Structure 1
């Protein structure tokens, strides 16, 4: 009877020990990531005289592992104990940071790229494990609120992170900044010991030689689910749109607004503040809105705002539009994460995440790499209008699944065994 009452009255989100622990761990990791990103960026810029190739390699080191290791990491995350996996990933990240720190100290400055590269690889194992734990320890009706909290956390660091990273590098230098990253990874690992124990008895035992079969099950699970299939299509279109708009943001500042390059930081700051506010709003009202409607709303607003930013030559209009776009962006992130969790069985959520995540990132990197060439062939207004239409088509893709509700009893074996 007590268990039934507990299920009927789940604890408030912020009193959930799992949520408290994961948030604290993520705060520490965000500090390390932003210090790392800006310390390495400023260091490489100083060392190479702002060489664009050397600077672009930082993004390659950050995004390349997503293509190679996202599928693999998602599959292993479903095989391994999630709490243990997350702790080991943070510990190994810390060890790799201190090893690289030694090589930097003794003269090999190029090894700074490995700090980002190794951390990005390990995150492909840790992140889907965190999704599995979310599925286990957060009540179904609080999943969307939980995602909203994490979106708000990301928004806070989008505002504070650049300042934090710049201050660390300016006052401490590269080696001390990298050491800070190693320390916060160790602290994060220590915090994660507070997580509830892994459910060893419920963990499926990995079968030797079955890795490729389990990997293919993730693709088959996504393909057999109409909701996840449509989500994948929306991922692709959103990734293309985001890549174009992010890559050419500097030209909006210099060509459309006639401002110096430094003005871009104010646009990003306005966007980050709005994301923080938007995440809070979604957290309050998220229970009343289905995640697919939330995602569609975010993409529609993104479509309109992207077109306006492309056309605008007025600073006030552009900043106001950036703010509105920032308010809507949490709808996209929260909608996507909630749909993955609600329409995926706990035993396969890592693989589903591993299949869908590269679709967005891959398309974003492709459009970012093509943005420069498109800029030489088409006016900036046309490119931003095209990006707006990509967002719009992404929202339209979701119409067939708008009325669907998440299944109460997911049967993973029934889906993956279908041919």
Structure 2
């Protein structure tokens, strides 16, 4: 009884946390803008180019290339700057860039929709590491995995409603109104973030020279390289990036070619996936303290590898939707497992740089694959491409198996002393 009461109080205190309340409110606004952007711009580009796979692939390229380039820099500066103010300024600048692009669209330059994605991707590389640092500061270690599950569940909700929101917005109001809503959503998110408790008092860092920034970045690389958990996670990231980058660009062609449906049917696939993510997120919340994050991540990647291949092979709408549902059940395991591993095995002062080192492992491969996926589609069957992507995800999962023997130490210790090889069972 005492244990049950303690767990219930722990869950209640998590939602009473001002940071958790605020970051969820901000995420609702950001997700609204992001999903309208994703689908409105996708539909707009396909309409303007006649469903050109290279043009669709270019959307992914301009999104992920700046992530690959700026994540090193963003992670390093996130460790130097105050995370709360960094997030606020990133949302404000995103909003300004959206309204600037809206003006160019109104005056007839449709290609500038690529610019919205580019700027948003650059700014996210300064904002995302700051979110991780704030989680580290404002969430208790024993609540970390549950907090990540709650945060992921919000994304799952928008996987359900977001696609329809984007499609309806574009079809009813057009690209100009859709882009305008994006700008307002980003601006409101910035205002909401002022509710986050003030940043910790930190010693003012001296003006950073190129040599200093490079030294701090090198320290982050060294930190990851010396950690067996983080180093293996980097390899997993790279292989997952190859898989995700390939199928993300080509998913619309699964709808039109394998299933024989209209482009708009893609929203129903994502909605099915999102419903499952919501259910999976709830399940992960109940099991978060019982399953080590590396095992949770491996399980999620195994599910993803099998369903990727299955979606490529399927020509049946019910079967494809079923596979999307199963994939969605496993996805929270991937997201929550990754974030929890990074936060558990990284000292707070290195969180930004570790993100800056690991993210390019994933995004770099995504950049390459989004750039070439359109050309691969012209040379190879869609089935073969999806099966190859599933195999890459399976290899990434196998890299995690040696990490099953490691157990996280709750007490703060030197960076490389947080790992202890212990028998489990």
Provide TM-score, normalisation by structure 1.
0.88
The aligned counterpart of 1:76 is 77
Task: State the 1:320 CA deviation.
Answer: 1.8
Partner residue in 2 for 1:20: 21
Task: Answer with 360-369 or 118-127: which moved more.
Answer: 360-369
Query: SS of the residue aligned with 2:271?
Result: helix
1:295 aligns with 2:285: no
> Using a 3 Å threshold, how does the CA distance of structure 1 residues 17 and 100 change in structure 2: closer, same or farther?
same
Q: Deviations over 1:124-163 (max 9, x none)?
A: 1011111100111111111111111222111221221122
| 2:357 maps to 1:366 | no
Alignment of 1:20-419 (within 5 A): 20-201=21-202, 208=209, 209-253=211-255, 256-257=258-259, 262-372=264-374, 374-375=376-377, 379-407=381-409, 408-412=411-415
Distance 1:354 1:261, change over 3 A: same
**Residues in 2 aligned to 1:316 and 1:392: alpha-carbon distance in whole angstroms:** 25
- 2: CA distance, partners of 1:44 / 1:247: 13
Q: Distance in 2 between matches of 1:379 and 1:182?
A: 39
Deviation, 1:52, is 4.7
Deviation at 1:18, TM superposition (A): 0.4
Quote the offset at 1:258 in angstroms. Answer: 5.2
Q: CA RMSD in A?
A: 2.8
Q: What's the CA shift string for 1:235-275, capped at 9, x where partnerless?
A: 11222222333344345445555555554443232222211
CA shift in 2, pair 1:254/1:173, >3 Å: closer
CA offset digits 1:220-246 (Å, max 9, x no partner): 111111000011111112222223333
Q: CA deviation at 1:194?
A: 0.7
> 1:405 offset after TM fit, Å?
2.0
Measured after TM superposition, the shift of residue 324 of structure 1 is: 1.0
Report SS of the residue matched to 2:196.
coil
In 2: Cα distance, 1:313 partner to 1:55 partner: 22
Instruction: Look up the SS of the partner of 2:322 in the other structure.
Output: helix
2: CA distance, partners of 1:184 / 1:254:
31
8 Å contact 1:10–1:139 — kept in the other structure? no
| Cα distance, 1:11 vs structure 2 | 6.1
- CA, structure 1 residues 114+330, in 2 after alignment: closer, same or farther (shift >3 Å)? same
Q: Which range moved further: 200-209 or 98-107?
A: 200-209
* CA distance 1:192–1:105, shift in 2 (3 Å): same
Instruction: Tell me: CA distance 1:398–1:283, structure 2 relative to 1, closer, same or farther (3 Å).
Output: same
The TM-score normalised by the length of structure 2 is: 0.87
Structure 1 residue 175: Cα displacement: 2.9
- Shift, 1:87, TM fit: 1.0
Number of positions where the alignment pairs a residue of Structure 1 with one of Structure 2? 409
Q: Distance in 1 between matches of 2:257 and 2:105?
A: 39
8 Å CA contact 1:81–1:203 kept in 2: the answer is no
Partner residue, 2:421: none
User: 1-side partners of 2:309 and 2:179: how far apart?
Assistant: 40
Going from structure 1 to structure 2, the CA distance change for 1:75 and 1:413 (only over 3 Å counts) comes to farther
Aligned 8 A contact 1:296 1:332 in 2: yes
For 1:232 and 1:357, the matched residues in 2 are separated by 8
CA apart distance, 1:309: 3.2
Higher deviation after alignment, 233-242 or 13-22? 233-242
CA gap of 1:202–1:294, structure 2 versus 1, over 3 A, is: farther
